[in-house]
C-alpha cells in the first residue's frame, strides 16, 4: 500500500458566532423603579366663618341664607345698614311696643318714650279760661294715666282749655238769648207799671245793699237776671208798704233814713236819671220827694 499521504483537511473558517444578545429580562437583576411621588394630601377646608357661634346663631344665619356659598359677614353688614336707613333713627331712640299685660315691659316702654315717673313731674303751662285759669293739677293725673309725654301733656292742656272756652262761649250765648227773651216777656207783663217796677227794684237794691253781695247776686242770677229783678221788685213794693206815714207816726220800717240817703247818693251819680228828674219826669220827682221825706223828714 502506497503510503497514502495524509489528507489535509481544508482549513475551516471559524463560524461566526452571532453576538450575544443581552438578556432583556433578568428578574433577579431588575433595578427597582423610582417610587412614585405620593399624592398631595387634599387641602383642608377653610374654617367656616360661623365657627364658634351658638346653635341658635347658626340656625338664624342659615334661615337668612348667609351661610351659603358666596355669602358671608359682608351680607350681614349690608342688611344692617339697610335696616338703619329704613328705621331712620339711631338704635337708642327705638322703643319696642310692649306686651301690655306685662307691667315691666310697659314701664320700660313709658320710660323710653319720655313719660314722667309721676303726675307731679309734669311741667304745666298756664292756660287761660274765660273765668280764670285752668287747674292743671286736675289734668296731670289723666295725662300720666294715658302715658303722655311732656310735650303731649302741654298739648292736652291747651286742647282742654280751648274746649272749655268754646263750651263756655256757647253756653253764655244761649244764656244771653234766653235772658233777652225773658226780659221781653217781663216788659209785656208789666206794661204801664214798668216805671214803678224799676223804682221798686232800685229801692230794694239800696235797702239790701249789704245783703246783695257779689256772691249772692251771682247765685240769684245763675238762671238769668229776670228772676233777680222780680225778687227785688217785690221787695221794693213791700218797702213802700212799710214806709212811715207822712204824719210822723212811728213804724217798723225797712226804708230807714240811712237807706234813703244812700239811695239819693246813688241817684246823684246817675246822670240820665237826674236829667229826667230835671226835665220833669213825674215818677222820678215822686221818688225823689219820697226819699227826701224819709231821709230828712221833709
One DSSP character per residue, 226-269 reads HHHHHHHHHHHHHHHHTSPPTT------SS-HHHHHHHHHHHHT
CA 84 vs CA 2, 48, 74, 113: distances in Å: 142, 27, 15, 20
70 within some domain: yes
At residue 191, the pLDDT reads 85
Pairwise CA distance, residues 130 & 139, whole Å: 18
226 within some domain: yes
The per-residue pLDDT for range 38-66, each reduced to its tens digit, is 666 665 555 677 888 888 888 988 888 88
CA angle 127, 128, 131 (to 5 degrees): 140
- HEC per residue, 139-154: CHHHHHHHCCCHHHHH
CA 250 vs CA 243, 247, 255, 259: distances in Å: 10, 9, 13, 17
Average pLDDT, the chain: 79
288 within some domain: yes
DSSP state of 158: H
Q: How many domains does the chain have?
A: 2
29 within some domain: no
How many CA atoms lie less than 13 Å away from 87 in the CB half-sphere?
14
At residue 248, the pLDDT reads 44
Which cell numbers hold the place of 175?
244764656
Last residue within a domain, chosen from 45, 68, 93: 93
Q: For residue 132, list its beta bridge partners.
A: 129
At residue 245, the pLDDT reads 47
Which cell numbers hold the place of 91?
338704635
DSSP state of 11: P
Which cell numbers hold the place of 1?
500500500
Pairwise CA distance, residues 142 & 119, whole Å: 8
**CB of 169 within 8 A of CB of 205?**
no
pLDDT band at 7 (very low <50, low <70, confident <90, very high): very low
132 within some domain: no
Strands of 130-258 (E only): list them.
132-133
Query: Which is more confidently placed, 2 or 215?
Result: 215
- C-alpha 32: how far from its chain's center? 97
Please state at what angle helix 225-241 crosses helix 150-190, rounded to 10 degrees.
40
The per-residue pLDDT for range 226-266, each reduced to its tens digit, is 888 888 888 888 776 655 544 444 444 456 677 778 888 88
pLDDT band at 123 (very low <50, low <70, confident <90, very high): very high
| Nearest Cα residue to 186 out of 217, 226, 231, 235 | 226
At residue 72, the pLDDT reads 81
CA angle 267, 272, 273 (to 5 degrees): 40
**CB of 123 within 8 A of CB of 149?**
no
pLDDT at 280 over 50: yes
Last residue within a domain, chosen from 67, 93, 119: 93
pLDDT at 108 over 60: yes
pLDDT at 36 over 60: yes
At residue 298, the pLDDT reads 59
| Nearest Cα residue to 203 out of 297, 277, 296, 294 | 294
276 within some domain: yes
At residue 52, the pLDDT reads 81
pLDDT band at 217 (very low <50, low <70, confident <90, very high): confident
Last residue within a domain, chosen from 66, 93, 120: 93
Q: Domain range for residue 283?
A: 196-296
Burial bucket for residue 137 (CB in 10 Å: 0-12, 13-18, 19+): exposed
**101 φ, ψ (degrees, to nearest 5):** -85, -5
What percent of the chain is modeled with pLDDT above 70?
A: 74
116 within some domain: no
pLDDT at 90 over 70: no
84 within some domain: yes
- Of 95-104, 145-154, 282-291, the poorest mean pLDDT is in 95-104
The per-residue pLDDT for range 134-183, each reduced to its tens digit, is 999 999 999 999 999 999 999 999 999 999 999 999 998 998 898 889 88
At residue 142, the pLDDT reads 95
Amino acid at each position: 500500500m502506497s503510503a497514502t499521504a495524509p489528507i489535509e483537511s481544508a482549513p475551516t473558517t471559524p463560524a461566526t458566532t452571532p453576538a450575544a444578545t443581552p438578556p432583556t429580562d433578568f428578574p433577579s437583576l431588575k433595578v427597582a423603579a423610582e417610587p412614585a411621588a405620593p399624592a398631595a394630601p387634599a387641602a383642608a377646608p377653610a374654617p367656616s366663618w360661623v365657627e364658634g357661634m351658638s346653635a341658635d346663631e347658626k340656625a338664624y344665619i342659615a334661615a337668612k341664607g348667609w351661610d351659603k356659598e358666596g355669602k358671608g359677614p359682608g351680607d350681614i353688614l349690608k342688611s344692617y345698614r339697610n335696616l338703619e336707613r329704613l328705621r331712620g333713627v339711631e338704635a337708642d331712640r327705638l322703643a319696642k311696643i310692649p306686651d301690655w299685660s306685662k307691667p315691666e315691659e310697659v314701664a320700660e316702654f313709658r320710660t323710653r318714650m319720655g313719660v314722667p315717673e309721676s303726675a307731679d313731674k309734669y311741667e304745666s303751662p298756664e292756660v287761660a279760661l274765660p273765668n280764670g285759669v285752668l287747674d292743671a293739677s286736675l289734668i296731670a293725673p289723666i295725662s300720666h294715666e294715658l302715658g303722655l309725654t311732656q310735650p303731649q301733656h302741654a298739648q292736652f292742656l291747651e286742647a282742654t282749655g280751648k274746649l272749655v272756652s268754646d263750651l263756655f262761649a256757647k253756653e253764655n250765648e244761649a244764656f244771653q238769648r234766653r235772658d233777652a227773651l225773658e226780659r221781653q216777656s217781663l216788659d209785656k207783663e208789666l206794661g204801664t207799671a214798668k216805671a214803678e217796677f224799676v223804682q221798686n227794684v232800685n229801692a230794694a237794691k239800696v235797702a239790701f245793699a249789704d245783703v246783695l253781695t257779689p256772691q249772692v247776686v251771682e247765685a240769684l242770677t245763675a238762671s238769668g237776671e229776670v228772676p233777680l229783678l222780680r225778687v227785688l221788685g217785690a221787695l221794693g213794693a213791700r218797702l213802700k208798704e212799710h214806709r212811715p206815714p207822712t204824719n210822723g207816726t212811728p213804724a217798723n220800717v225797712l226804708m230807714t233814713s240811712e237807706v234813703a240817703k244812700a239811695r239819693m247818693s246813688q241817684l246823684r251819680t246817675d246822670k240820665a236819671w237826674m236829667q229826667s228828674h230835671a226835665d220833669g219826669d213825674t215818677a222820678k220827682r215822686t221818688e225823689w220827694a219820697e226819699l227826701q221825706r224819709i231821709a230828712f223828714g221833709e
